[in-house]
């Protein structure tokens, strides 16, 4: 009986062996997998970007609000220290936060006496609030936009703290 | 069909264009993310900056200006031995504040800001004083010896009214006597307030057996003499004072007696404008029996004129006398930086600080303390100073609170009369048999040769 010996596979010939290979299928597979991969990456990056933008907007609005609140509280202390006189405080706020314009609104409120609330809202819908107290009356409601603001007080005038855009 | 496998073309060099495009898109996303994070970094940097320092410096500057003016006016008043005119005192005040303002302006300029301080006006006042501790409280001047007399009329606002009384000179109330009897012939300060139905009367006397000093206030619609039913037990336990001291200091405007709060004196802080102040019954009915009170006093009035009839000229060297002073000062403080423009007009009230400070001794409260030795004894480490260098005596007392009478009872005292000069320090121990849980008060007084004094008080619980 003759023994059958299978020859060792010739790996070099596999590369050039095109039996069972479809160029179209290969093309579709390559493109499809690459597309899926890239789509997933871009989606994830996009979502990540959106979250970061929102977080950055909120953080920046919060900081702007706190700065304005501290300036108002400081202006209140200056006003209270004077029997008569005037106070002018200037603050340069960023005109936009993460590329979005924003509005500032000051209202009475809060759980404490003489409490006020500053509400900041960006065009992208992100909002933030800051609170402060002032013994001196603050003109409310007040609406502003980002940028340079001026806090003014004069006993010869209205004798309230007024906040306006410069 | 096009061969996109890339194996045949150009030896296989054209590969991965899709991946290249995808990589580019991801890189763009990272760049955009960097821009966003840059905004966050900027925001965080803004948040960590000291945002309110320029505002706080305005508040601090305003407070410093007030302290300067208050201190300068007090010093001008205290040093006014020449009894200069009010105009001269105001000029001195402006000179002093002008020098300070120049200094602050130069200091502020180093930080890019500017400050200004100007005294707008100095309100004239008068110090009505008796500095002879051995003298009685009768009038002087052209009505010398009158035992009931008016110190001041039309007082708009009293800034300081202090008396240092010699306890031994006070009239005595016998043990067990009623309030009516105790006050019938006692020295008292009378205040005629506009609109009131009568006088406020502040009676000060001593107990014959307890040798404690008592202070009682009769309200305008009250008459102690018409209400003989108030027993000794009722008034003696509620009166102000009840301390056994050789000299008793009464701060009428601060509502303090011997350093302790005296609720009954608080009426003085809310009197209607334009009231009159009198001393009544300063001498016994039988003049040969002597005075009912001796000591020093000072009444500061913020009026431009006073009736000098009952007073000697200061230059005569006799008490009581009047002395010019500045009552209050109106000033304007300005502060400017790149962010703040601030102008504040304010009134400085220097006379609310006791004008006798500077000639009266004081405890150095930072270097005066006590130690509980644990065996019923306490050691008081004290340091005292006196600007005019005439320290005389220091007394340390130990009191305990008698729960049955709710009164303070002295159980030990020590006196050191060897002190002198402008400062002194030492340790004094006092002791007694004390039960755990007992409230004790350590009380120290320092006196000078003028009868002026200061007190130091601490309370403790025995454990």
β-bridge partners, B256: B251, B261
Chain B residues touching residue A81 (CB < 8 angstroms): 59, 62-63, 344, 346
Distance, CA of B318 to CA of B130 (rounded, Å): 8
Instruction: Tell me the pLDDT of chain B averaged across its residues.
Output: 84
- Asked whether residue A10 carries a pLDDT value surpassing 50, the answer given is yes
Name the residue facing B55 among A31, A41, A74 (closest C-beta). Answer: A74
Q: Can you tell me which residue has the tokens 């009768």?
A: B138
Q: Which residue, among B14, B26, B35, B40, would best test binding to A if mutated, counting the most A CBs under 10 Å from its CB?
A: B40
In this prediction, residue A2 has a pLDDT band, given cuts at 50, 70 and 90, of: very low
- According to the model, what pLDDT value does residue B407 have? 63
Q: How far apart are CA B180 and CA B230, in angstroms?
A: 7
CB of A27 less than 8 A from some CB of B: yes
**Other beta carbons less than 10 A from residue A157's beta carbon:** 10
Residue A1, Cβ neighbours under 10 Å: how many?
3
Query: Is the model's pLDDT at B10 over the cut of 60?
Result: no
Q: What is the DSSP string of B248-269?
A: EEEETTTTEETTEE-GGGGGGG
**Would you say residue B8 has pLDDT above 50?**
no
Q: Give the per-residue pLDDT at B413.
A: 87
Residue of B34, B39, B64 to mutate, interface with A, max A Cβ within 10 Å:
B39
* Chain segment B380-434, per-residue pLDDT in tens: 999 998 876 778 888 898 888 777 766 667 788 898 888 888 889 999 999 988 8
% of chain B residues with pLDDT over 70: 88
Of the partner residues B26, B55, B347, the one whose CB lies closest to the CB of residue A75: B55
The pLDDT, as a whole number, for residue A36 is 87
Tokens of B144: 């010398």
Contact assessment for residue B188 and residue B201, using Cβ atoms and an 8 Å cutoff: yes
pLDDT of residue B52: 56
- Whether B339 sits inside 8 A of A91 (CB atoms) is yes
Q: What is the mean pLDDT of residues A126-148?
A: 92
CB contact under 8 A, B18 and A27: no
Question: Who among A38, A56, A82 is closest to B40 (CB)?
Answer: A56
Q: What is residue B370's DSSP assignment?
A: E
CA-based radius of gyration for chain B: 34
* C-alpha distance from A73 to closest chain B C-alpha (Å): 9
Q: Is B289 strand, coil or helix?
A: helix
Report how far residue B188's alpha carbon sits from residue A11's, in angstroms, rounded to the nearest whole number: 126
Q: In angstroms, what CA-CA distances link B348 with A78, A82, B86, B332, B336?
A: 16, 11, 17, 10, 22
- The verdict on a CB contact (< 8 Å) between B55 and A78 is yes
Q: What does the mean pLDDT of chain A come to? A: 85
* Residues ≥6 apart with Cβ < 8 Å to B224: B179, B180, B183, B184, B201, B203, B216, B218, B230
Strand partners, B201: B190, B218
Question: Are residues B292 and B284 in contact, defined by beta-carbon separation less than 8 angstroms?
Answer: yes
Residue numbers in A near B343 (CB within 8 A): 82, 85-87
Q: What percent of chain A has pLDDT over 70?
A: 89
Q: Nearest by CB to A70, from B1, B43, B52: name it.
A: B52
Note the maximum CA span of chain A.
124
**C-beta of residue A49 within 8 angstroms of C-beta of residue B32:** yes
Q: Find the mean pLDDT for residues B94-114.
A: 86
Q: CA angle, B58 as apex, B343 and A80 as ends, to 5°?
A: 65
Instruction: Compute the average pLDDT of residues B275-292.
Output: 81
pLDDT in tens, A11-60: 566 667 667 777 888 888 888 888 888 888 888 878 888 888 888 889 88
- Average pLDDT in the B58-75 region? 88
Interface of A with B in 56-95 (CB under 8 A): 56, 59-60, 63-64, 66-67, 70-71, 73-75, 77-78, 81-91, 94
Residue among B213, B81, B185, B202 nearest B151 (CA): B202
pTM attached to this predicted model: 0.65
More confident residue, B452 or B424: B424
Inform me whether the pLDDT recorded for B1 exceeds 90: no
Give the chain B residue whose CA is nearest to the CA of A15: B7
What pLDDT was estimated at residue A22? 79
Q: What pLDDT does residue B353 have?
A: 45
For residues B235 and B246, give the distance between their C-alpha atoms in angstroms, rounded to a whole number: 22
> What is the pLDDT, as a whole number, of residue A7?
53
Supply the ipTM of this predicted assembly: 0.74
Q: Which of B54-58, B93-97, B192-196 has the lowest mean pLDDT?
A: B54-58
Q: Which residue has the higher pLDDT, B279 or B3?
A: B279
Q: Which residues in chain A are closer than 8 Å to B33, comparing Cβ atoms?
A: 45, 48-49, 52
Closest CA to B222 of B240, B201, B236, B239: B201
A112 in contact with chain B, both atoms CB, cutoff 8 A: no
- Which distant-in-sequence residues (6+ apart) come within 8 Å of A1 by Cβ? none
CB < 8 Å to A35, chain B: 18
Q: Do A81 and B346 touch (CB under 8 A)?
A: yes
pLDDT digits (tens, 9 = 90+) for B198-223: 999 999 999 888 778 999 999 998 88
CB contact under 8 A, B36 and A42: no
DSSP string over A93-130: --SEETTEEEEEEEEE-SSSTTEEEEEEEETTS-EEEE
């Amino acid at each position: 009986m003759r023994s059958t010996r299978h020859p060792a596979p010739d790996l070099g010939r596999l590369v050039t062996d095109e039996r069972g290979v479809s160029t179209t299928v290969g093309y579709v597979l390559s493109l499809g997998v690459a597309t899926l991969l890239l789509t997933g990456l871009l989606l994830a990056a996009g979502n990540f970007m959106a979250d970061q933008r929102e977080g950055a907007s909120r953080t920046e609005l919060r900081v702007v609000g706190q700065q304005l609140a501290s300036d108002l509280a400081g202006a209140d202390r200056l006003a209270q220290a004077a029997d008569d006189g005037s106070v002018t405080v200037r603050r340069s706020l960023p005109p936009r936060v993460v590329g979005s314009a924003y509005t500032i609104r000051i209202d009475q409120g809060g759980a404490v006496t003489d409490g006020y609330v500053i509400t900041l809202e960006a065009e992208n819908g992100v909002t933030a609030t800051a609170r402060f107290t002032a013994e001196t009356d603050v003109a409310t409601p007040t609406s502003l936009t980002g940028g340079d603001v001026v806090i003014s007080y004069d006993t010869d005038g209205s004798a309230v703290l007024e906040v306006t855009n410069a | 069909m096009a061969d996109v496998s890339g194996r045949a073309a150009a030896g296989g060099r054209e590969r991965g264009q899709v991946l290249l495009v995808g990589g580019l898109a991801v890189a763009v996303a990272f760049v955009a993310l960097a821009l966003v994070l840059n905004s966050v970094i900027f925001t965080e940097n803004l948040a960590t900056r000291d945002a309110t320092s320029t505002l706080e410096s305005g508040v601090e500057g305003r407070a410093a200006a007030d302290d300067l003016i208050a201190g300068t006016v007090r010093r001008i008043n205290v040093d006014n031995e020449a009894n200069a005119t009010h105009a001269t005192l105001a000029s001195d005040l402006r000179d002093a504040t002008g020098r300070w303002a120049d200094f602050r302006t130069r200091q502020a300029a180093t930080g890019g800001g500017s400050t200004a301080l100007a005294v707008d006006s100095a309100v004239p006042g008068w110090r009505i004083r008796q500095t002879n501790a051995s003298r009685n409280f009768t009038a002087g001047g052209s009505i010398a010896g009158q035992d009931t007399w008016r110190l001041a009329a039309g007082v708009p606002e009293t800034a300081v009214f202090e008396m240092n009384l010699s306890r031994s000179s006070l009239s005595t109330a016998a043990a067990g006597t009623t309030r009516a009897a105790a006050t019938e012939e006692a020295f008292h300060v009378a205040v005629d307030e506009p609109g009131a139905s009568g006088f406020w009367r502040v009676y000060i006397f001593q107990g014959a057996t307890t040798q404690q000093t008592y202070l009682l206030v009769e309200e305008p619609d009250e008459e102690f003499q018409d209400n003989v039913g108030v027993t000794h037990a009722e008034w003696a336990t509620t009166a102000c004072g009840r301390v056994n001291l050789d000299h008793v200091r009464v701060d009428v405007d601060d509502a303090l007696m011997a350093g302790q709060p005296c609720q009954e004196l608080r009426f003085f802080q809310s009197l209607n404008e334009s009231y009159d102040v009198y001393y009544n019954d300063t001498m016994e009915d039988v003049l040969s029996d002597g005075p009912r009170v001796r000591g020093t006093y000072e009444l500061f009035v913020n009026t431009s004129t006073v009736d000098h009839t009952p007073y000697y000229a200061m230059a005569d060297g006799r008490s009581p006398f009047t002395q010019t002073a500045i009552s209050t000062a109106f000033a304007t403080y300005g502060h400017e930086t790149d962010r703040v423009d601030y102008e504040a007009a304010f009134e400085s009230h220097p006379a609310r600080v006791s004008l006798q400070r500077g000639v009266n001794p004081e405890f150095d409260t930072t270097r005066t303390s006590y130690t509980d030795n644990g065996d019923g004894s306490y050691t008081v480490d004290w340091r005292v100073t006196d600007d005019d260098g005439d320290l005389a005596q220091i007394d340390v007392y130990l009191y305990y609170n008698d729960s049955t009478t709710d009164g303070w009872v002295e159980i030990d005292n020590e006196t050191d009369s060897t002190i002198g000069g402008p400062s002194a320090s030492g340790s004094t121990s006092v002791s007694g048999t004390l039960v755990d849980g007992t409230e004790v008060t350590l009380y120290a007084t320092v006196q000078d040769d003028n009868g002026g004094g200061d007190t130091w008080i601490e309370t403790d619980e025995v454990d």
